Structure 1
Amino acid sequence: MRRKDREVKDINELLQIIDKCKVCRIGMQDKNGLYIVPMNFGYKYEHNQLVLYFHSAKEGRKIDALKENSNVCFEMDCDHRLITGDEACQYTYSYKSIIGSGKVVFIDDYDEKKLALSVLMRHQTGHEFEFDNKMADRVCVFKIVAQEFTGKHRPYMAQYKIS
């Protein structure tokens, strides 16, 4: 990371950023080239391992690409706010973000699939939901097991001055 002053290293702060984010962009590649898709997600962090959960239609370019190549990158961001200045070049933006890479694993086991859907819904809504096999069978569920991820933030300042 070039801007070490903006790096977030503490795992609790990283998880707070993930908690605030509701959309994760997944970058992948298929025979047609690079492809990025914004998706709602849920997550678990256990045993020093970040796992992101997603649900999707069972077919389409995204699913084909992920089956062809399970290596992906991901990005999420939140807390956006414009920082103004007296001149155009003094304007900037405050934010918090997570960027990482990992491998996609498709989930076929009904119990794991229902758990993943529950985690996703809890993250998106703050509420607990239960799923039966019929509901879980309607969608494709997959997870990204993160191989690495980093966090970055630029705090909000009322006015930014370039020296």
Structure 2
Amino acid sequence: MDMRRKDRLVDDPGELRLILEECKVCRIAMMDGEGLYIVPLNFGYEYDGDKLTLYVHSAREGRKVRAFRHNAAIAFEMDTGHELVEGNMACQTSYRYKSIIGNGSIHELDDNTEKASALNAMMEHLTGQTFEFNDKMVSAVAVFRIDVSQFSGKRRI
């Protein structure tokens, strides 16, 4: 991804993992027949330093789910570490943050074992715990995997 402010680039896998850990909401942008659409979702992830996979869940129906099923191309953004930096003049005022943005393709999971694993990735990320999911529980929700094709981190500290 092209970034104008190279001094704010985060490309160290360890630092990217820390940003992922701090972020609890991922905004996913998609396109459907009505136009552009963006939703904030809690997420889970797998990251090995080279490959990033995100997981989200949803009700089984609705605009978001229809859009995911119609067009797999998505963009995403997550951010954390927000802090105002005050200056004496407006142009000296700034904001601290850490963020990750990227693109990928979203795919609905059909296998209950895969769905349970994805839900546990989410629960572990959000709560630090894993849970038991039975078939009835995983069948009640739609679970999606985002195969991230490219992403970058950015920070202002």
| Superposition TM-score tier, normalisation by shorter sequence | over 0.9
User: After the TM superposition, which segments of 4 or more aligned residues of structure 1 sit over 2 Å from their partners?
Assistant: none
Which secondary structure does the structure 1 equivalent of 2:131 belong to?
coil
Q: In the alignment, which residue of structure 2 is the partner of 1:100?
A: 102
Q: CA deviation at 1:116?
A: 0.4
What is the root-mean-square deviation in Å for CA atoms of aligned residues?
Answer: 0.9
Which secondary structure does the structure 2 equivalent of 1:85 belong to?
coil
Q: In the alignment, which residue of structure 1 is the partner of 2:43?
A: 41
Q: In the alignment, which residue of structure 1 is the partner of 2:113?
A: 111
Residue type of the partner of 2:98? Answer: K
Of residues 77, 87, 90 in structure 1, which corresponds to 2:89?
A: 87
TM-score, normalised with respect to structure 2: 0.96
Contact 2:13-2:49 at 8 Å conserved across structures: no
User: Are residues 1:28 and 2:30 paired?
Assistant: yes
Superposed CA deviations along residues 101-150 of structure 1, whole A, max 9, x for unmatched, are 00001101010000000110110111221211111011000010100000
Of residues 143, 146, 157 in structure 1, which corresponds to 2:145?
A: 143
Q: In the alignment, which residue of structure 1 is the partner of 2:129?
A: 127
Which secondary structure does the structure 1 equivalent of 2:28 belong to?
strand
TM-score, normalised with respect to structure 1: 0.93
- In structure 1, distance between residues paired with 2:147 and 2:132: 23
Q: CA deviation at 1:4?
A: 0.1
Residue type of the partner of 2:63? Answer: R
Q: Which runs of 5+ in 1 are unaligned?
A: 156-163
Q: Which runs of 5+ in 2 are unaligned?
A: none
- In structure 2, distance between residues paired with 1:105 and 1:64: 12
Q: CA deviation at 1:15?
A: 1.1
Q: CA deviation at 1:87?
A: 1.2
**Structure label with greater radius of gyration:** 1
Q: Percent identity?
A: 54
Query: Bigger shift: 9-18 or 146-155?
Result: 9-18
Query: Bigger shift: 69-78 or 10-19?
Result: 10-19
Contact 2:44-2:121 at 8 Å conserved across structures: yes
- In structure 1, distance between residues paired with 2:124 and 2:5: 33
User: Are residues 1:55 and 2:61 paired?
Assistant: no
- In structure 1, distance between residues paired with 2:36 and 2:118: 27
Q: In the alignment, which residue of structure 2 is the partner of 1:72?
A: 74
Between Structure 1 and Structure 2, how many residues are aligned?
155
